[in-house]
């Protein structure tokens, strides 16, 4: 076959001379560099432009560690080896945990973007610049839903080297990119690759799944570092890898710069949480069976399952059963893609959404509003001796439900945090659980839960809502 193909191509040219008016362009042939200038082609100018703004982030937190029983608990040994509550006697002792990651200075005033998991729970954060200067940093904003955090360097002087944020929507599969960070703590490192895929939504890392995939080597310690395009602009924040060994296997994921910009803007306005538009509707992916039932050519889009009364979705005229296929002229293949596109729209104004209803296309206009906090949170950490001890709870509202991505509920008390090793932890309470009843008492406000758990009980009967299911359990007191 290798000998026949050139012969047939020549025959076509002889038989059809009038058709082949212009010879087809020749395929690009591999060639050696033709000049010293071509031999010297390098990514060094991009690195020189961006690398000074890439920093190392050191996070430290103090944890209480309890050691197991030892001979030193015996009174005889205590006489000779020190205080009974010191290390080695089974008493609590402090231990320092350290985390290492990377970050990007995005403003000359010293604003740094990194991953939330790098600084999660940190008591102290320190940032080291590429020129060896080190600064303590304050955490301005944490956003677990995107795994992003914004830090501020503690220094009265401005003029820090800052990287330019690009637009992740300008990327195409095949574009050359650089990953800059501090893998394994060896020091600032640059790796090169291409954009392997865009809009990865089935990764399972954050609430807003719409990742840039790259084969540029990303390893532990690169988290929070920059993914840089050919113009030296930061188009993503490296956040995770797919690996069976713990090292790079050519599949890395970066949070798009357009999402980074939303979190950064919230930090610049002094917010402690990210303000995002609220849809007020639950969406479902379209399977092959659903697509066949709806007579769709392929299984794409987001099927509307439910709509909250008074929400922007209801105000726009969206209905249960509608199929959302795009937003602002951009196609969205699934609920994750739509959620990302919707979440990156600015608050205020409105956005047009493409919908198919009963086989007919139409366009709806959805107002871009934040979820309302209709009920004050009244946050409480339960300290009573009960299955809820160590749990932090707040009153439920659309704003809280949106933050926690809980099931749709109009009222109640929802768990927002569970202390490690607490009775609530032992009870297997989870963030997002909605507490409905304790020992026959309805729980509608946090004060109700405090009142219901004040009196000790030999048996606790609790009812809660989790993931659309109602669970009832009997627990010993």
Q: Which residues are marked as active site?
A: 117, 147, 223
The secondary element (H helix, E strand) that includes residue 260 is helix 257-268
Backbone angles phi, psi at 276, to 5 degrees: -130, 155
Written as six digits, the tokens of 7 are 């012969």
Question: What's CA 335's distance to the chain center, in Å?
Answer: 15
The single-letter DSSP state of residue 370 is P
Torsion of CA 243, 245, 249, 252, to 10 degrees: 30
Written as six digits, the tokens of 143 are 């956003």
Side-chain-side CA neighbours of residue 78 (13 Å): 11
Written as six digits, the tokens of 142 are 């944490």
Residue 237 CA to residue 231 CA, distance in Å, equals: 16
Question: What's CA 246's distance to the chain center, in Å?
Answer: 20
Q: Where does 96-234 have alpha helices with state H?
A: 116-119
In contact, 93 and 87? CB cutoff 8 Å: yes
Torsion of CA 76, 81, 85, 90, to 10 degrees: -80
Q: Given the structure tokens 């991009």, which residue do they identify?
A: 46
Residue 383 CA to residue 274 CA, distance in Å, equals: 30
First vs last C-alpha separation in the chain: 81
In contact, 284 and 300? CB cutoff 8 Å: no
Task: Give the list of residues 6+ apart from residue 316 with CB closer than 8 angstroms, or none.
Answer: 353, 364, 365, 366, 367
Residue 22 CA to residue 150 CA, distance in Å, equals: 58
The single-letter DSSP state of residue 43 is S
């Amino acid at each position: 076959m290798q000998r026949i193909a050139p012969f047939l191509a020549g025959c076509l040219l002889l038989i059809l001379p009038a058709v082949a008016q212009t010879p087809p362009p020749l395929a690009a042939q591999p060639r050696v560099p033709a000049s010293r200038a071509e031999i010297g082609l390098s990514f060094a100018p991009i690195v020189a432009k961006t690398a000074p703004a890439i920093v190392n982030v050191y996070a430290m937190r103090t944890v209480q560690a309890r050691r197991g029983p030892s001979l030193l608990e015996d009174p005889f040994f205590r006489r000779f080896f020190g205080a009974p509550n010191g290390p080695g006697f089974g008493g609590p002792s402090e231990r320092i945990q350290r985390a290492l990651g990377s970050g990007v200075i995005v403003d000359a005033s010293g604003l740094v973007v990194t991953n939330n998991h790098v600084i999660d729970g940190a008591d102290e954060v320190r940032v080291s610049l590429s020129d060896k200067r080190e600064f303590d940093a304050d955490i301005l904003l944490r956003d677990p839903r995107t795994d992003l955090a914004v830090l501020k360097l503690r220094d009265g002087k401005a003029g820090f080297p800052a990287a330019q944020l690009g637009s992740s929507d300008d990327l195409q599969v095949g574009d050359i990119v650089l990953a800059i960070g501090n893998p394994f703590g060896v020091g600032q490192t640059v790796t090169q690759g291409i954009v392997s895929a865009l809009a990865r939504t089935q990764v399972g890392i954050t609430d807003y799944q719409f990742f840039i995939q790259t084969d540029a080597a990303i390893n532990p310690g690169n988290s929070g570092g920059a993914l840089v395009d050919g113009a030296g602009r930061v188009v993503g924040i490296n956040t995770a890898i797919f690996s069976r060994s713990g090292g790079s296997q050519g599949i890395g994921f970066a949070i798009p710069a357009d999402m980074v910009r939303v979190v950064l803007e919230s930090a610049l306005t002094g917010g402690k949480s990210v303000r995002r538009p609220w849809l007020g509707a639950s969406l479902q992916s379209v399977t092959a069976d659903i697509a066949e039932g709806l007579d769709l050519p392929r299984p794409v889009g987001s099927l509307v399952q439910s709509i909250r009364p008074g929400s922007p979705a209801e105000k726009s005229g969206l209905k249960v059963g509608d199929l959302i296929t795009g937003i602002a002229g951009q196609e969205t293949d699934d609920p994750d893609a739509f959620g990302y596109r919707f979440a990156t729209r600015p608050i205020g104004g409105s956005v047009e959404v493409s919908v198919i209803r009963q086989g007919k296309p139409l366009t709806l206009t959805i107002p871009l509003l934040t979820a309302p906090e209709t009920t004050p949170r009244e946050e409480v950490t339960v300290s009573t001796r009960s299955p809820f001890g160590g749990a932090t709870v707040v009153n439920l509202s659309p704003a809280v439900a949106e933050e926690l991505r809980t099931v749709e509920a109009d009222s109640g008390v929802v768990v927002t945090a569970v202390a490690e090793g607490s009775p609530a932890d032992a009870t297997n309470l989870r963030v997002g659980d909605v507490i409905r009843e304790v020992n026959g008492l309805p729980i509608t406000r946090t004060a109700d839960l405090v009142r219901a758990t004040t009196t000790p009980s030999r048996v606790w009967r609790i009812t809660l809502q989790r993931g659309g299911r109602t669970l009832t359990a009997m627990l010993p007191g």
